[in-house]
Structure 1
Amino acid sequence: MTRTTMYEFAGGLPAFEALAAAHHERCLADPVLNHPFSRRLHPEHVTRLAAYLAEVFGGPASGLDHSGMLDLHARNGMEGDLGARFVACFVRAADDAGLPADPAFRDGLRAYMEWAVGEVLAYNSPDAVVPPGQRTPHWGWDGLER
């Protein structure tokens, strides 16, 4: 028996669009995360985030790559608990978006975002250089798929 992808289990692209929108709203509402999220973002930020997350969890190719995502967030001098707050907003956004409450699914969402935040924070210093050509990671029920 073949297990569905996390993308399919969530409900496909509409589920990730709802998740991206809810996460963005939670970040705007957070008194600490508000500052980085209130600056001028790409007009299609939420749509692009949804497509990127959908691809990560087994959906169609988004045309975005991991290096681009990392470079967009690199060299920001993030301090304090920004990463933990970002993950917490993401986890709560899954509720807001009505994603399945299945514990294995929710654990996978959290584990991915914790991993992704760690990736971003690795390029936090002002002189960080993100290697080009890193493909979008794929995350499945058992974690990062190599």
Structure 2
Amino acid sequence: MGRPSVFEFAGGADAFRALAAAHHARCLADPVLDHPFSRGTHPDHVERLAAYWGEVFGGPARYPGGHTRMLRVHSGAEPGDGMGDRFVECFVAAADDAGLPTDPEFRALLRTYMESAVAEVFARAGTAVGDGLPTPRWGWSGPQT
């Protein structure tokens, strides 16, 4: 039997739900990160976020609209006020809040993924997002091709 997927190692869908809830709470509590939420979020935001991250790390494809939708939702993001770094730090701290495994390789992978995701969102700020973009998949060695 091979190594479990990152999704399985983290604890599956329940772990990603806990991570999404913890991250959302941290963003709302942050004086810079709460601004994007000031106009409200989808009622299923936390569940959708958990589904997206779960899919990225090897879970089932359950996020409606895939990577294209995620990028379109965030296409207006601007990197001002250290927002990207704050977002990553909230994500890393949320992994603790959610009780995810503390394995150093796993935690480094989570940070690297989120740094990459934030960089991609900011790089696309103000640009059109094409249709049908595949959701990135990350394994133990990083992004999968």
TM range (shorter): over 0.9
1:114 maps to 115
Give the percent of matched residue pairs that are identical in Structure 1 and Structure 2: 60
What is the aligned residue count? 144
1:144 maps to 143
TM-score by length of 1: 0.94
State how far apart, in whole Å, the 2-side matches of 1:108 and 1:96 are.
17
State how far apart, in whole Å, the 1-side matches of 2:28 and 2:108 are.
24
2:15 maps to 15
Q: 1:17 to 1:63 in 2, by over 3 A?
A: closer
Question: What runs of 5+ residues in structure 2 fail to find an aligned partner?
Answer: none
Q: 1:39 to 1:111 in 2, by over 3 A?
A: same
Kindly state the Cα deviation for residue 105 of structure 1 after the two structures are TM-superposed.
Answer: 0.4
State how far apart, in whole Å, the 2-side matches of 1:139 and 1:38 are.
31
State how far apart, in whole Å, the 1-side matches of 2:5 and 2:87 are.
24
Question: What runs of 5+ residues in structure 1 fail to find an aligned partner?
Answer: none
State how far apart, in whole Å, the 2-side matches of 1:35 and 1:75 are.
12
| CA RMSD across the alignment | 1.1
* Moved segments of 4+, more than 2 Å: 75-78
Cα-to-partner distance string for 1:26-71 (whole Å, 9 max, x where unaligned) = 0001111011123211110000000111111011111431111001
1:93 maps to 94
| Paired residue type of 1:124 | A
Per mean C-alpha deviation after superposition, the further-off stretch among 6-15 and 36-45 is 36-45
